[in-house]
Amino acid sequence: MQFPDFDPVLIQLGPIAIRWYGLAYVAGILLGWRYMVSLTRKPALWGGAEPTATSLQIDDLILWITFGVIVGGRLGSAIFYDAHRMVSDPLEVFKIWQGGMSFHGGFIGVCVAVALFARHCKIDLLRLGDLVAAATPFGLLFGRIANFINGELWGRPTDVPWAIIFPAAGPEPRHPSQLYEAALEGILLFIILRFATHRLGWLQRSGGVAGLFMLGYGLIRFSLETVREPDIGMPDFPFGLTMGMILSVPMILIGAWLVWRAQKTPAAQ
């Protein structure tokens, strides 16, 4: 199957280009913001306890998160996947318009932003992390779809019937791993977290939803790295590991510990 002839630029207004990739970030952030607000307006989810944050606090938090995503994603891309360029030309990290964002870097950036916001507003960090984690799959879904539209981050060669020939990846049919990630990191992970918040009452157990997100994402990403083409310039890691796998292991371990801890912690009253 030939890759569809997508134009990564939706609208060109003179020197200003509105790209699908940028719109994906906007859509993910806006939907995540409104979803967090909706969770705080459902008292039953909190089991009689006060919601983690007010609507006005979430309005402020989303700005901190946006900054964390951009700065963390860009720094993560430079440090984890292109360190030699960062050393030779440190100013490259500020050239956001050239692309290059790392999920794990963005995740770290968001964690730092949420921690600083929680300290600033005197909010429990893990409970605030639960709220943010529940809404994160929106960004993952739209981000991975944008990766597909851009024809980037493709999968490894394969002969499955739905394989796609990406023009920039050569003549071999490849896994559309971006769509796998959109379905699993975005849709499936959202359903799992939604079940935890709306059926299991995990918003009442500090750190449970955040841990479930980290565990779920880490396992999904680690698994899909087996069909995703490793990034160019990466060294040959032992045991067939990739950088994505290595960065996902701490998420799996910390996420599993948070889930275990949440199960040992009485529900908030």
Residue 242: inside a domain: yes
Q: What distance in Å separates the CA atoms of residue 126 and residue 105, rounded to the nearest whole number? A: 20
Look at residue 268 in the predicted model and tell me its pLDDT: 59
At 74, the pLDDT band (50, 70, 90 cuts) reads confident
Residue 113 domain flag? yes
- Tens digit of each residue's pLDDT (9 = 90 or more) over 90-137: 666 555 545 567 888 899 999 999 999 999 999 999 999 999 999 999
pLDDT value, residue 93: 59
10 in a domain, yes or no? no
Question: How many C-alpha atoms does 30 have within 13 Å on its Cβ side?
Answer: 7
Evaluate whether residue 25 is within a structural domain: yes
Q: Read off the pLDDT of each residue in 154-167 and give the average, rounded to a whole number.
A: 94
Q: What region, left, alpha or beta, does residue 192 occupy, with left being phi > 0 and alpha being psi -120 to 50 degrees?
A: alpha
Q: What pLDDT, on a 0 to 100 scale, did the predictor assign at position 252?
A: 98
The reply to whether 61 falls in a domain is yes
- How far apart, in Å, are the Cα atoms of 193 and each of 95, 122, 239? 35, 25, 32
Confirm whether 5 is domain-assigned.
no
Inter-residue contact 258 to 211 (CB < 8 Å) = yes
Q: How far apart are CA 46 and CA 157, in angstroms?
A: 47
DSSP state of 151: T
Q: Which of 1-5, 39-43, 57-61 has the lowest mean pLDDT?
A: 1-5
Whether 238 is covered by a domain: the verdict is yes
Q: Which of the two residues, 36 and 73, has the higher pLDDT score? A: 36
Residue type at 195? Answer: F
Confidence grade of residue 17 (pLDDT, cut at 50, 70, 90): confident
What is the domain extent for residue 178?
18-264
* 6, pLDDT greater than 90: no
Pairing mode of beta strands 16-19, 9-13: antiparallel
Overall number of domains in the chain: 1
Which band of pLDDT confidence, cut at 50, 70 and 90, is reported for residue 5?
Answer: confident
Candidates 110, 28, 18; CA nearest to 64 is 110
pLDDT category of residue 59 using cuts at 50, 70 and 90: very high
Contacts with 128 (C-beta within 8 Å, 6 or more apart), sequence order: 52, 53, 61, 114, 117, 118
State how far the Cα of 63 lies from the Cα of 66, in Å rounded to an integer.
5
Q: So what's the pLDDT on residue 65? A: 96
